[in-house]
Chains A and B, each alone.
Chain A
Amino acid sequence: MAGDADRPERVSLTEKAAQLLARLTETHGPLMFHQSGGCCDGSSPMCYPDGDFRLGNSDVHLGDLHVGGIERPVSVWMSESQFEYWRHTHLTIDVVPGRGSGFSVEAPEGVRFLIRSRLLTDEELARLGS
């Protein structure tokens, strides 16, 4: 879905988050995101070494983040059941000062990835076919 030039994106990232991803890739190798739900550190994007989190039939691919300086795009995923409630929104991955979360790799840096959301426009939704 992402990479198709005519298709609007569902997910993007801020410049600060892109810089952090580039730094983290040097330490951890290629990375991926899986959006979490639920308690405590939930409702946050979890960043893992690519392949560390095993994806399955219950996951939806939201898009690929192309980051300057990183060879392989960073894929972003969410469970299908959660996507049903999120599909009308566009997500931007940002980063804020924070103190850890789950097993996400950025925590020891004293920062935390965070989702900012906006509504997809009617036109974007039509082009996404959802």
Chain B
Amino acid sequence: MTVYAAPGTAGSIVEYKSRYDNFIGGEYVPPVKGQYFENITPVTGRPFTEISRGTAEDVERAVDAAEGASAAWGRTPPADRALVLNRIADRIEANLEQLAVAESWENGKPVRETLAADLPLAVDHFRYFAAAIRSQEGHSSQLDGDTVAYHFHEPLGVVGQIIPWNFPILMAVWKLAPALAAGNAVVLKPAEQTPASIHLLVDLITDLLPPGVLNVVNGFGVEVGKPLAQNKRIRKVAFTGETTTGRLIMQYASENLIPVTLELGGKSPNIFFSDVAAADDAFYDKALEGFTLFALNSGEVCTCPSRALIQSDIYDDFLGAAIERTRRITTGNPLDTATQIGAQASNDQLEKILSYIDIGKQEGARVALGGERLVHDGDLAGGYYVAPTIFEGHNKLRIFQEEIFGPVVSVARFDGYDDAIKTANDTLYGLGAGVWSRNGNTAYRAGRDIQAGRVWVNNYHAYPAHAAFGGYKQSGFGRENHQMMLDHYQQTKNLLVSYSENALGLF
């Protein structure tokens, strides 16, 4: 067990600059309007560095730099681009511990997660897309004896990427790796809640990328995200966030006739069929852990299994054991490797979660565990902590229908297969789902009947590269985390070639 020293105190392995400017054209440049804002750690609620407050003028500069770099980067041989991605992966891996601590400090998530998941996955993601771009092939079709259609993958040019705050580095990497592999130049906007750790990463890899291929403009959504999404010179926007901003981004994209990919969250069902309790064995233990995964990353995951549906005949026993399992979760200092749940990412997130706990109680849901803010001692007293919370109720309640984005699960019972699927699909969203059963046929059928882009069967919250991730219904579109994402950052060039010596004979 290790407790990492807080950044800014003696012995910390993380050192921040006192302020971070915008990263444009391969160097840090101050924002045109000269404004900055404080970056707060949710661990203590106190600021730890300053971040540039960019504006439309900075976005224009970044797009200038990206335009200047995109043609050469797009012509760079795939093997060379892959090599750059592999070097970025190596650089992250060599600094993994430092970045993991920074990511925990930035977002409030426990360092055991950033050490074991966020950063190793980011490393692997660059390697995956390095491999994917090297092995990508175009297609050719022989249309007749003298005519051949060649299909080449070509980059889009300059793309805009708007990153969420729940996995500040990993979500940036999910978007960056395929875009860079495909030969695009990027203008990236980090979340205003969590901009600093991306800059630690940028600092590490500045020498690996040609200037202008990656540009980062910090600031608020309305001042940076909006002019980026509206910019007439970008060829695509990728966004992870919520539905109203998703719609707005599509509206802007429609004005410029450019494609978007959107990942907009969910209210993912986690279904436990009776046979999981057929024996009190390792699989039963695994299923109970699967229930408790709602608390992973403090519930701040788009695919948080925030609706647990348990078959009636095992409901009481299974839920009783699941409550005990959840009660044992260790909460506290995110920089302690023994901590399982850290802080929520921001004060407004904390307030929102508490407002949902309030409406859940008003609607008559029963609080089976938690249901309150946690206040820790010492430096953590000002941080944003919530007790893991289990509600019992029914699927029409608002806490069953809205993404709370906290360590809150809403539990309901179901009677039989059809009832399970009907309840699971009674939601606006379709991002993730979990199915737990010892019966392969049941698990397969349920997995196919649930309207969601990712269904975990007898596991949950695994995010390996090469398994496509994206939404059905109002959860958005596009498939990240898979080589098919290359298609979202490329356009197809068809070269239609005649090898005939003879005229058509028409004129």
Instruction: Give A contacts to B, CB under 8 Å.
Output: 34-44, 46, 48, 52-54, 79, 81-82, 85-86, 89, 96-105, 107-108, 110, 112, 114-119
Are A81's CB and B401's CB within 8 A? Answer: no
Q: When the two chains form their complex, are residues A34 and B244 in contact, meaning their CB atoms are under 8 A apart?
A: yes
Q: Is B46 close to A, CB under 8 A?
A: no
Kindly list chain A residues whose C-beta atoms are within 8 Å of the C-beta of B193. Answer: 99-100
Q: Which residues of A contact B348 (CB under 8 A)?
A: 44, 96-99, 101, 112, 114
Q: Tell me, in angstroms, the Cα distance from A96 to B354 when the chains sit together.
A: 12
* Contact of B142 with A by CB under 8 A: no
Which residues from chain A contact B223 at a C-beta distance below 8 Å? Answer: 108
Q: How far is the CB of B54 from chain A (nearest CB, A)?
A: 11
CB proximity of B4 to chain A, nearest CB, Å: 24
Q: Whole-angstrom distance between the alpha carbons of A89 and B240 in the complex?
A: 28
Which residue, of A100, A110, A118, has the highest number of chain B Cβ atoms within 10 A?
A100
B53 within 8 A of A: yes
- Among candidates A40, A85, A114, residue contacting B240 with C-beta atoms closer than 8 Å: A40
Given contacts A79-B243, A115-B355, contact A38 B222 (CB under 8 A): no
B206-260 at interface with A (beta carbon < 8 Å): 220-223, 225-226, 240-248, 251
Q: Cβ of A41 and Cβ of B241 under 8 Å apart?
A: yes
Query: Which residues from chain A contact B246 at a C-beta distance below 8 Å?
Result: 38
A40–B404 Cα gap in the complex (Å)? 9
Q: Closest residue to A35 on the B side, CB-wise?
A: B244
A55, B395: Cα distance in complex, Å? 28
* B362 engages A117 (CB within 8 Å): yes
Sample (30) of A-B pairs whose CB atoms are under 8 Å apart: A37-B265, A37-B429, A38-B403, A39-B266, A40-B300, A40-B302, A41-B245, A52-B248, A54-B251, A79-B243, A82-B428, A85-B396, A86-B398, A96-B347, A99-B346, A100-B191, A100-B192, A100-B221, A103-B222, A103-B225, A103-B248, A107-B192, A107-B220, A108-B53, A108-B222, A108-B223, A117-B355, A118-B359, A119-B362, A119-B363
Interface residues of B in 256-277 (CB under 8 A from A): 263-266
Interfacial residues of chain B within 128-156, with CB under 8 A of chain A in the complex:
none
* B351 in the interface (beta carbon within 8 A): yes
Give Cα distance in the complex from A88 to B242, angstroms: 23
B248 to chain A: which residues have CB within 8 Å?
A: 48, 52-53, 102-103
Quick check: is B358 within 8 A (CB to CB) of the other chain? yes
Contact in complex: A38, B346 (CB < 8 Å): no
Cα separation A117 to B356 with both chains bound (whole Å): 8
CA distance A79 to B248 in the complex (A): 13
B402 within 8 A of A: yes
Contact A105 B265 (CB under 8 A): no
Residues in B whose Cβ lies below 8 Å from that of A107? 192, 220-222
Partner of A37, one of B53, B242, B358: B242
Q: Does B165 contact A (CB under 8 A)?
A: yes
C-alpha gap A43/B248 in the complex (Å): 16
CA A17 – CA B258 in complex, angstroms? 36
- Asked whether, in the complex, the Cβ of A53 is within 8 Å of the Cβ of B352, the reply is no
Identify A43's interface contact among B225, B346, B358, B405, CB under 8 A.
Answer: B405
Is B483's CB within 8 Å of the partner chain A? no
Besides A89-B398, A110-B37, 7 other A-B contacts (C-beta < 8 A): A39-B240, A40-B300, A42-B402, A42-B403, A96-B348, A107-B192, A114-B348
Q: Looking at the assembled complex, report how far the CB atom of A46 sits from the nearest CB atom of chain B, in whole angstroms.
A: 5
For B220, B347, B403, B475, which residue has the most chain A Cβ atoms within 10 angstroms?
A: B220
Q: Kindly state whether residue B166 has any CB partner on chain A within 8 Å.
A: yes
How far is B248's CA from A34's CA once the two chains are assembled, in angstroms?
11
Closest to B473 in A: A81
Chain B contacts of A35 at CB under 8 A?
244
Complex-state Cα separation, A89 to B474, whole angstroms? 22
Write out the residue numbers on chain A whose beta carbons fall within 8 Å of the beta carbon of B220: 100, 107-108
With both chains docked as a complex, state the minimum distance between the C-beta of A24 and any C-beta of chain B, in angstroms: 11
Interchain CB contact under 8 A, B221 and A101: yes
Known contacts A40-B242, A103-B226, A53 near B251 by CB under 8 Å? yes
Alpha-carbon distance between A79 and B242 when the two chains are bound, in angstroms: 13
Q: Give the 4 A-B CB pairs with smallest separation, nearest first.
A: A39-B265, A98-B348, A42-B242, A38-B265
- B263 near A98 with CB under 8 A, answer no
A36–B244 touching, CB < 8 Å:
yes
Is there an interface contact between A36 and B359, defined as CB atoms closer than 8 Å?
Answer: no
B221 surroundings in chain A (CB, below 8 A): 100-104, 107
Residues of A within 8 A of B346 (CB): 98-99
Q: Distance in Å from the Cβ of B358 to the closest Cβ of chain A?
A: 7
- Given known pairs A35-B244, A40-B164, A119-B363, the reply for A99 and B226 (CB within 8 Å) is no
Q: Could you tell me the distance between the alpha carbons of A8 and B198 in the complex, rounded to whole angstroms?
A: 48
